[in-house]
Structure 1
């Protein structure tokens, strides 16, 4: 079907048919949209065809030759048969043009019998603009149809001036109306095409966004798992390794110290196993699994474990009026403390560690101070621990401050809003 661009008066833009029809651009409509739009248009033509054929038959009357009635029956029926409901869109134009040849011959024959009242012309002209690709041939075919019928009417009226003028005016009006109707149909087709294109672009954009969100979610989850593994399992294995190495040194000289270190290694291994199970179950830290246990007890036990493991002075104090912390903030504080103590364990060589949990009116502060060898906390310094700590705190709107210098120990100060 012709989908001419309304700004082009000489060439139709193409069919609502299959993509790649010769002489036409590929349709941007889906098969379902093509079938829906074209199916409704053909349905309107079918009913109009039968209605105008019935009107013409009534106007012809019984005195006309029987073949005239036969033609008026055959034309709309043949249109229905040649373009039945549910027809494949690829066959619309070819079948439509074949029917136009039959219809023009039939209407010419009927006009020769009685040029008055050939109502079928009013459906044939829109069909002409629909099924003929080029606008100029469609206009010429329509002019022939009305010109032939008008000439026969004028001859029948003995070329009376008033009758000829009336016929010409009627031809002009009907041709203009048919042309405008064809343009309207083409404009509607363009709108349907544009709508289909926009819908497909929207679907493609949604698919892109879904893929992007999925990739971002995977990346975030990987980063989360990397932080969890670094803050729990990796630190636990480091602690076990250090305890076993220390036990190996004293195995011959100090059986009690060796036994103590092996017991500590066993306890850390059990804690690591619990952390691994908590990670698999996507839970919080295993140490905080008991929600009835105060966060201060969890932090205090963690500090005491470090002191026992490294045989250093490790103290934990709580100041301020205790207030309830969300489970997310509690997890962040536990992980931050674990990371800070892991750095003490691996790098500080400290003799003492002091940890303070301070409840303040609008925030909660955790401070970890060691008297170890310190380090340069400048940008680009350190490994994964500090960036991971900052990422965790960013999730709860917290901040971290690291103060350290070579030979002067390290202070890690964390604050999260209440």
Structure 2
């Protein structure tokens, strides 16, 4: 039939075909050949020729199911006639019919076709057996009717089970497609959320900090514009430089600049430039140990710079410190950046700021971690560690 098991079960169907072919040959063809062995004349050779034709046609249909000359439906019609003819020849009869019944369910295009064609084969077999024996009701005839009825019931049952299996497979396939679509949408939404978080972190660590510096410098410049013009001029220069850096970072964020706006140089030079600007803007004392031979890749360099900028911004806004210490150390398998201040400190567990979480996530992306130690009145220690596995 064309309504065969689901494609995932094709291998099982092929195995069944192979086992059935062996059974048909052993239990159908060979006993029929043996049955005419002791006969002679035209009936014997006619039976052998008919068996050979049926075997050849069966082989052709099995190997070439799309053959335009001998289609499965045509073969089943030929099989029905052949079984009827064998019923009237020596060696034929009910046994060959019973063994051949599964073919009608294997090759028919639908259950109705299988019932009609196997019924025709049963009728032809009964007619052939009756003509040969001269009796209308024999054991073979009863056996044919029972076999036909059993094949119809079994075939319909199997057909129903296969149809139910196909329906369940279709339902599961639809559910799987729906689940895959939901998963893809979830991945898309998660990717969008991750990208928004990344952009928010970049804006916080670059543009927001720069604008905060500009505001503080502008307020300071306004307060000294008449009393200390030289100081005001320095602050205006810092405002201009910070605004240019913000502009460069904004171009990176919107994709109009190919790489980070970070100025070239080693990580020590980059951090030193940031610390000098911080000292110039705030007047705080910065004690730094920045070995010039510390080597790292661009991502690590950016992460260390962002951690430094965030820590210095927190010192400026919250710490009320007088001195800041920065120590950069390279180990065989890690780089550490320690930033301390002597400010008023805070309770780490109560901190809900975006900055510390952003630092942690940025470092985690590089197989690093952040340790924050602080308490009220005792200052703050920030330790950023990035594991390098010995790779500069």
Deviation, 1:308, is: 0.5
Shift of 1:366: 0.8
Q: Trace 1:8-407 onto structure 2 (pairs within 5 A).
A: 47-51=71-75, 130-131=111-112, 160=135, 164-281=138-255, 285-288=260-263, 290=264, 293-319=265-291, 322-377=293-348, 379-407=349-377
Structure-2 change in CA distance of 1:284 and 1:344 (3 Å): farther
Distance 1:386 1:407, change over 3 A: same
The answer to which of 355-364 and 231-240 deviates more is 355-364
- Please report the TM-score for the alignment, with normalisation by the length of structure 2: 0.66
User: Does the Cα contact within 8 Å between 1:3 and 1:187 map onto a contact in 2?
Assistant: no
Q: Distance in 1 between matches of 2:84 and 2:352?
A: 101
Residue 416 in 1 paired to residue 386 in 2?
A: yes
Q: CA RMSD in A?
A: 4.2
Assess if the C-alpha contact under 8 Å between 2:327 and 2:338 holds in 1. yes
Structure 1 residue runs without a partner (length 5+): 6-40, 62-115, 133-137
Partner SS, residue 184 of structure 2: helix
> Are residues 43 and 204 of structure 1, via their aligned partners in 2, closer, same or farther at CA, if it must alter by over 3 Å?
farther
Would the aligned equivalents of 2:268 and 2:294 in 1 still touch at CA under 8 Å? no
- Report the secondary structure of 1:286's partner residue: coil
Kindly state the Cα deviation for residue 312 of structure 1 after the two structures are TM-superposed.
2.0
TM-score by length of structure 1 reads 0.63
What is the rounded CA distance, in whole Å, between the counterparts of 1:50 and 1:146 in structure 2? 13
**Distance in 1 (alpha carbons) for counterparts of 2:83 and 2:315:** 107
Deviation, structure 1 residue 400? 2.0
> Which position in structure 1 is the counterpart of 2:12?
none
Query: Deviations along 1:258-315, whole A, 9 cap, x unmatched?
Result: 1111111111000111111122228664225x3xx11111011001100001122223
Deviation of 1:352 after TM superposition, in Å, equals: 2.3
Q: Distance in 2 between matches of 1:197 and 1:42?
A: 30
Q: Which moved more, 1:360-369 or 1:339-348?
A: 360-369
Q: Distance in 2 between matches of 1:265 and 1:248?
A: 12
> Matched residue of 2:71: which SS?
helix
Partners of 1:364 and 1:224 lie apart in 2 by 23
Quick check: 1:4–1:183 contact (8 Å CA) kept in 2? no
Q: What are structure 2's unaligned runs of at least 5 residues?
A: 6-64, 86-92
Alpha-carbon shift at residue 4 of structure 1 (Å): 12
After the TM superposition, which of the residue ranges 147-156 and 206-215 deviates more from structure 2?
147-156
SS of structure 1 residue aligned to 2:262: helix
Q: Structure 1 residue 326: deviation in Å?
A: 2.7
- Distance of 2:84 and 2:140 partners within structure 1: 21
Shift of 1:3: 8.2
Matched-pair contact (CA < 8 Å) for 2:119–2:148: no
Rate the CA distance shift 1:399–1:151 in 2: closer, same or farther, 3 A.
Answer: closer
Cα gap change, 1:392/1:183 in structure 2, threshold over 3 Å: closer, same or farther?
A: same
In structure 2, what is the Cα distance between the partners aligned to 1:397 and 1:265? 35
